[in-house]
Amino acid sequence: MSSDRVPSLFEWIGGQPALDRLLERFYGNVAKDPLIGPLFAHMDARHPRFVAQFLAEVLGGPDVYSQQRGGHPHMVGAHRQRQLTEAQRRRWLDTLLSTADEVGLPDDPEFRSAFVAYLEWGSRLAVINSQPGAAVDPHAPMPHWGWGETRGPYRGG
């Protein structure tokens, strides 16, 4: 990598191994939480891996999630009719950020600012799309997050 090339957020975080480590630990932490644990009580054992692949793609990594799981519309669809609350969203976010510290993800302000911006946006979108009557756009592009810029759907799925 040349010294003038800015790494993607995916590269900066440590690639797929770092995201796999984050999501495995995160869902272990979630299982113990009385507010959000029940939401994931019956999740597929592969769920942490799938979410890690989704985040990898959003942060500039390979498009494995889109190729194998159906991209953004699939992720949005997984939240439909769950009627998530703001309290659950906040606990999910707080738990993920605490877990990021536990597993040693980069904590520099520039990275954390971009990472938190995506998590705030994505988790709020999940709440919106979990309410009755929310529709999934089957052609919604995968969001792509970077160092202060975004590309992708800006509202709904």
The Cα angle at residue 25 between residues 43 and 35, in degrees rounded to 5:
60
- Report the pLDDT value the prediction gives residue 136, as an integer from 0 to 100: 75
Task: Report the alpha-carbon distance of residue 71 to residue 67 in Å, rounded.
Answer: 7
In eight-state DSSP terms, residue 83 is -
Nearest to 89 by CA among 130, 124, 41, 51: 124
With a cut of 90, say whether residue 154 has pLDDT above it: no
- Asked whether the whole model's pTM tops 0.85, one would answer yes
Better-predicted residue by pLDDT, 93 or 141: 93
Is residue 93 within 8 Å of residue 35, measured between CB atoms? no
The pLDDT mean for the chain works out to 88
pLDDT tens column, 10-58: 999 999 999 999 999 999 999 999 999 999 999 899 999 999 999 999 9
pLDDT tens column, 116-130: 999 999 999 899 888
Task: Report the alpha-carbon distance of residue 129 to residue 133 in Å, rounded.
Answer: 8
Hey, what domains does the chain have and what are their CATH numbers?
10-151 (1.10.490.10)
